[in-house]
């Protein structure tokens, strides 16, 4: 395992110095899953949740969260994101899978922005539907893939 970079030789916390890193195009995709009762799933799909279109509100929340990642996670660099996209897939029964993609041209990666977007998207779905189903489960949050930068490409399952 590589050395942790957010601590100096004395063990003090620090923000990684990216001054001398190369600017490259960077992309990260993260996944989150939310499972629920079939009745709750159907309310979402039929757009009958009283708070509004759950998936569109959650999409906006995920995009907004990606843009604020640096203020949520200590030592995370502020980035001028060039794109954030949220996509949904479902099994037509009780589960919504979320894929969040973040892009930037910068000296540091966008993994945390993608993971934050996917997570907040799932949390927003929970928030909007909790009155109908408090037993929803958010799970399987992970980095799917990333490219760009010195460490190159990572693909979940191939590099793990």
Active site residues: 127
Concatenating the DSSP letter of every residue in 29-62 gives EEEEEEE--HHHHHHHHTT--TT--HHHHHHHHH
The C-alpha atoms of residue 65 and residue 88 are separated, in whole angstroms, by 17
Is residue 28 a contact partner of residue 110, using CB atoms and an 8 Å limit? Answer: yes
Question: How many CA atoms lie less than 13 Å away from 100 in the CB half-sphere?
Answer: 32
The C-alpha atoms of residue 69 and residue 23 are separated, in whole angstroms, by 20
Length reported for the chain: 160
114 Cβ contact partners less than 8 Å away, ≥ 6 residues apart: 28, 29, 30, 66, 100, 101, 102, 143, 146
From the list 26, 48, 44, the residue with the least C-alpha distance to 35 is 44
């Amino acid at each position: 395992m590589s050395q942790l970079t957010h601590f100096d030789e004395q063990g003090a916390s620090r923000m990684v110095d990216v001054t001398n890193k190369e600017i490259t195009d960077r992309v990260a995709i993260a996944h989150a899953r939310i499972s629920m009762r079939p009745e709750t799933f159907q309310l979402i799909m039929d757009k009958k949740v009283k708070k509004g279109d759950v998936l569109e509100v959650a999409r906006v929340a995920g995009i907004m969260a990606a843009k604020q990642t640096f203020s949520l996670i200590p030592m995370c660099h502020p980035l001028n994101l060039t794109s954030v996209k949220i996509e949904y897939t479902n099994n037509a029964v009780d589960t919504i899978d979320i894929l969040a993609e973040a892009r930037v041209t910068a000296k540091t990666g966008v993994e945390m922005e993608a993971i934050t977007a996917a997570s907040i998207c799932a949390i927003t779905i929970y928030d909007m539907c909790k009155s109908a189903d408090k037993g929803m489960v958010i799970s399987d949050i992970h980095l799917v893939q990333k490219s760009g930068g010195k460490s190159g490409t990572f693909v979940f399952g191939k590099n793990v």
